[in-house]
A and B are shown apart, each in its own frame.
Chain A
Amino acid sequence: MSEWLAMGGHGFYIWSSYGALALAIAAELIWLKRERRRSLERALESRNEEAWQS
């Protein structure tokens, strides 16, 4: 297992690449979830503002 992880001495390069990708995807998914919640809240806010003005 540890030999496989070492990737013939290139383990650091390979796993840091795949790690960076995993981090980027995780960050994007968390961001999407927050964005979704925020967009629903903002939509509600702008509806309320509109109702208050009219």
Chain B
Amino acid sequence: MNLFRFAATPVFYPLAGRLLPWFTAAAIVLTIAGLYVGFGIAPTDFQQGEVYRIIFIHVPSAWMAMFIYLVMAGYAVVTLVWRSKLSAMMCRALAPTGAIMAVIALLTGAVWGKPTWGTWWVWDARLTSTLILLFLYLGYMALVEAIDDTTRADRAGALLLLVGVVNIPIIYFSVRWWNTLHQGATISMTSAPKMAETMLTAMLLMTFSAWAYTIWVAMRRVRSIIVEREAHTDWVAALLRREGVMR
């Protein structure tokens, strides 16, 4: 099987369309399950009280913000090395969602920090590097919008993404390298999680929901980008007729 076949837009577009409802359903079901476990079952934290329940959205959005950037950097490599068009479109489709995830992570972190740390914001290593991540997303989006030539915009954007990827390990290891305010990792690959099982379940359900949501919106956005870029092709003409836009 040739995987590059799916990178052909006339193949990818309907395939993504068929997959969309599954990701919609997954996102909804996982969110309901996550909120049910998070608010109905998970106990009150003995130190933080109820406010810790913000982590059910704070941690997944912070993880997603980092992960989406890594995926975009991967697509950036494919764009630069193989001159693939769909990968560049995927970068553009993912960026707004990555930016939103970073905003939510920063916002919920601030709202959690006020009652817990006693401050909305400090120039802590993790907070600052996450703010830089948000600026990288915004910078990428501004850059590709500012260049009229699509191919050049895609390549400049991919380069920016690759330069900025150095920020991801900085965010990830910031709590270990610098001993500032943000707490260390509660979940790690090498040791047992330091939190109650039901709390962890709720957080993981919300994380999978964030995954499903991200894939869902990114595929919807990339479909719009494909239609515009391939406007001159026969298959888009057929699509426009099917959608009732063109007679």
The total number of A-B Cβ pairs within 8 Å is 91
Interface residues on B, range: 35 or more
Q: Are A17 and B54 interface neighbours, CB within 8 A?
A: yes
Contact B111 A16 (CB under 8 A): yes
Q: How far is the CA of A20 from the CA of B105 in the complex (A)?
A: 11
Tell me the complex Cα distance, A38–B231, Å. Answer: 13
Interface centre among A38, A42, A47 (most CB of B within 10 A): A47
B112 / chain A contacts, CB cutoff of 8 Å: 13, 17
State whether the Cβ of A39 lies closer than 8 Å to any Cβ in chain B: yes
A50 to B49, CA, bound (A): 63
B57 and A43 within 8 A (CB): no
A14 proximity list for chain B (CB < 8 A): 50-51, 53-54
- A contact residues around B207 at 8 Å (CB): none
Convert A21-50 into 0s and 1s, putting 1 for each residue whose CB lies closer than 8 angstroms to a CB of B.
100110011011001101111111011001
Other-chain contact of A47, B57, B103, B231 (Cβ < 8 Å):
B231
Chain B residues with CB under 8 A of A17: 54, 57-58, 107-108, 111-112
Closest to A35 in B: B224
Q: Please encode chain B, from 38 to 50, with 1 for each CB lying within 8 Å of some chain A CB and 0 for all others.
A: 0000001000011
Q: How large is the interface on A (under 10, 10 to 19, 20 to 34, 35 or more residues)?
A: 20 to 34
In angstroms, Cα B221 to Cα A30, docked, is: 12
Distance in angstroms between the alpha carbons of A14 and B100 in the assembled complex: 19
Q: What residues on A are CB-neighbors of B225 within 8 Å?
A: 39
Which residues of chain A are within 8 angstroms of B61 by Cβ–Cβ distance? 21
With both chains docked as a complex, state the minimum distance between the C-beta of A42 and any C-beta of chain B, in angstroms. 5
Q: How far is the CA of A25 from the CA of B55 in the complex (A)?
A: 18
By a CB distance below 8 angstroms, the chain B residues around A38 are 224
CA distance A50 to B108 in the complex (A): 48
Contacts of A42 in B (CB 8 A): 228, 231
Given contacts A17-B111, A44-B245, A47-B232, contact A8 B49 (CB under 8 A): yes
Q: Nearest 6 CB-CB pairs, A to B? A: A43-B231, A39-B224, A10-B51, A7-B50, A8-B50, A17-B108
Listed by A's residue number, 21 A-B pairs whose Cβ atoms lie within 8 Å are A7-B50, A9-B49, A9-B50, A10-B49, A10-B51, A13-B112, A14-B51, A17-B54, A17-B108, A20-B111, A21-B61, A21-B104, A28-B100, A32-B220, A36-B224, A40-B243, A41-B245, A42-B228, A42-B231, A44-B231, A47-B231
Q: Which residues of B contact A (CB under 8 A)?
A: 44, 49-51, 53-54, 57-58, 61, 96-97, 100, 103-104, 107-108, 111-112, 114-115, 213, 217, 220-221, 223-225, 227-228, 230-232, 236-237, 240, 243, 245-246
